[in-house]
Amino acid sequence: MAATEPSPPNDLHLPTIQPTKFKDWVVVVTGAAAGIGRETAHHFAAQGAQLILLDINESGLKETQSLIQASGGKADTRKCDVSDEPDVNAAIAWTISTYARIDVLANLAGIYGFQPLTEYSSELYHRHISVNVNGSFFLTRAVLPHMQKAGFGRIIHTSSTTYADPKPGLSAYVMSKAAVVGLVRSAAVEAGPGVTVNAVMPGLIDTEEMRSKDGYEGIREKILENRAVKRDGKPIDVARTIAFLASPEAGFMTGQVVNCSGGETFSF
């Protein structure tokens, strides 16, 4: 876990953790069993939030919970398949009945598969739509009424720079991440006041799952060549961006897609 991990030593000013920044906020993180979701959960917990960790991977959830609790944070877990509408509704209803409100939804659950378009299996295509698109919609619809009632809320979904700069083999993934942009823009105009809906758009981020993919090293080298900030993107980089979008300081930002890629691409 790297919630307090400094940026590279050439950065003059190092990031700081503010232990009470999100004190007693109720923060739901999906995809919390691994990768960026785990780091995001830890980053909020390190700053005082009560975490609700959702994922299909129960053992991974328990690991994240233990890591958070070992550093003095508060985290509850619940198995939830974000592509399953009743499961999402039940997880959000349970969170509300247990914790009374939801301040932040950080939706990191996602899948990425690589297959050339002409060979793309229908099964893998439908899975991308179910998890990345339907999951984002079901979650938004389930949390929004509670946030609107409270007059405050932050919904942060996850797109990808591959939407702006697609790579071969990612058609269904890129399509699903484009849909996330449509969702945040359309949800933003219905959500407020006090409730914002944004997306973070990570570039290539060095997670265990990403490292396990065939051809990862080659892709990484090419991306690093073109990236303005010449280092690997880390889960903590994305977690910090999400925490900013969740913060009271970001209250005037909604319907936005925030690129966090070290300048891999400048548009979307």
Ligand X SMILES: NC(=O)c1ccc[n+]([C@@H]2O[C@H](COP(=O)([O-])OP(=O)(O)OC[C@H]3O[C@@H](n4cnc5c(N)ncnc54)[C@H](O)[C@@H]3O)[C@@H](O)[C@H]2O)c1
Q: Mind telling me the catalytic residues?
A: 173
Nearer to ligand X (CB atom), residue 209 or residue 217: 209
CA distance 109 to 87: 14
For ligand X, give the closer residue by CB, 146 or 177: 177
**Interface residues for ligand X in 137-166 (CB under 6 A)?**
158, 160
Contact residue for ligand X among 81, 103, 237, 264 (CB under 6 A)? 81
What binding mask, one character per residue, do residues 37-76 give for ligand X by CB under 6 A, x or -?
A: x-----------------xxx--x----------------
Number of residues that bind ligand X (CB under 6 A): 29
Site for ligand X in 121-140 (CB under 6 A): 131
Q: Residues 6 or more apart from 36 whose CB is under 8 A from it?
A: 108, 158, 202, 205, 207, 235, 238, 239
Least Cβ distance, residue 206 to ligand X (angstroms): 7
User: Which of 96, 111, 224, 253 is close enough to bind ligand X by CB under 6 A?
Assistant: 111
Residues 160-199 that bind ligand X (CB under 6 A): 160
Is the distance from CB of 41 to CB of 53 less than 8 angstroms? yes
Biggest alpha carbon–alpha carbon distance for the chain: 51
- Binding residue for ligand X, selected from 5, 24, 190, 209, defined by CB under 6 A: 209
Contact between residue 77 and residue 65 where contact means Cβ atoms under 8 Å apart: yes
Residue from 21, 29, 31, 77 in contact with ligand X (CB under 6 A): 31
Q: Which residues pair with 200 in a beta bridge?
A: 158, 258
Closest separation in Å from C-beta 80 to ligand X? 6
Q: Sign of the C-alpha dihedral, residues 57, 209, 75, 107?
A: negative
Nearer to ligand X among residue 48 and residue 60 (C-beta): 60
Question: What is the Cα–Cα distance from 19 to 238, expressed in whole angstroms?
Answer: 19
Q: Name residues whose C-beta falls within 8 Å of residue 33's C-beta, 6 or more positions apart in sequence.
A: 53, 55, 56, 57, 58, 59, 60, 61, 63, 64
Among 50, 77, 83, 241, binds ligand X (CB under 6 A): 83
- Between 149 and 213, name the residue whose CB sits nearer to ligand X: 213
Q: For 47-70, b where at least 16 C-beta lie within 10 A, e where not — what string? A: bbbbbbbbbbeeebbebbbebbee
3-state secondary structure 133-168: HHHHHHHHHHHHHHHHHHCCEEEEEECCHHHCCCCC
Min separation Cβ 156 and ligand X, Å:
11
Interface residues with ligand X (CB under 6 A)? Answer: 30-31, 33-37, 55-57, 60, 80-83, 108-112, 131, 158, 160, 202, 204-205, 207, 209-210
